[in-house]
Amino acid sequence: QSVLTQPPSASGTPGQRVTISCSGSNSNVGQNPVNWYQQLPGTAPKLLIYNNDERPSGVPDRFSGSKSGTSASLAISGLQSDDEADYYCAAWHDSLNGPVFGGGTKLTVL
Amino acid sequence: QVHLVESGGGLVKPGGSLRLSCAASGFTFSDYYMTWVRQAPGKGLEWISYISGTSSYINYADSVKGRVSISRDNSKKSVFLQMNSLRAEDTAVYFCARLHSSSWIDYWGQGSLVTVSS
């Protein structure tokens, strides 16, 4: 059982916009920045969004993040087949004093 | 360019021990907290432990506390994870990663598979 809650799956067709939600509590998402990771099949996770809505260099602006209260969202616009991957949200948990993750959302491009 | 390379994984019997290593390059190693995260087969990510740049601050997840020990050697730009009393549920890919601003993971290694089985 993951501390942060994500839908297990999401899907869209090429060119569409999809969003993935991440729900937490006042001990994590509500108090600390949310980060998003993309994990392509058989590879290590890669940082996609940090500090709620910032993109590392090299990440296309098709990917965007937002946060409100104890929930956060990742939006992917102009969906491409290469976007098919698992997406994880993460945030620092104050009482655990470490990062916690969502269970991951498997994105399928139809 | 930041590069993290894990080693030391393999097959170990229940109750056994294993030491994972992670060699870092491309950044000032001693300036960063380092962390280990694992992923059981077909499952999500689980944080295990982190260590500060000077080794003065260390923390462990409850799931491994008392069985795992993290350490680092800044002269060798390496971080280690000593795992004891291993159980079947410790079977996972173990990722070494860098913590940015002691807050979020910005770079990950490729992972090292640990299989606990008789």
Quick one: pLDDT band at residue B103, thresholds 50, 70, 90?
Answer: confident
Per-residue pLDDT reduced to its tens digit, A18-42 = 999 999 999 999 999 999 999 999 9
Phi, psi (rounded to 5 degrees) for B74 = -65, -25
User: What are the chain B neighbours of A46 within 8 Å (beta carbons)?
Assistant: 108
Nearest to A44 among B59, B106, B110 (CB): B110
B23 and B5 Cβ atoms separated by less than 8 Å: yes
In the predicted structure, residue A100 carries a pLDDT above the cut 90: yes
Nearest to B105 among A43, A51, A99 (CB): A99
Interface membership of B106 toward A (CB under 8 Å): yes
Interface membership of B115 toward A (CB under 8 Å): no
Distance from CA of A69 to the nearest CA of B (A): 19
CA distance B33 to B118: 35
**pLDDT value at residue B28:** 97
In the predicted structure, residue A12 carries a pLDDT above the cut 90: yes
Burial bucket for residue A94 (CB in 10 Å: 0-12, 13-18, 19+): middle
Interface membership of B9 toward A (CB under 8 Å): no
Q: Which among B26, B48, B30, B29 has a CA at the least distance from the CA of B39?
A: B48
For B18-71, the DSSP string reads: EEEEEEEESS-GGGSEEEEEEE-TT--EEEEEEE-TTS--EEE-TTTTTTEEEE
Mean pLDDT taken over chain A = 96
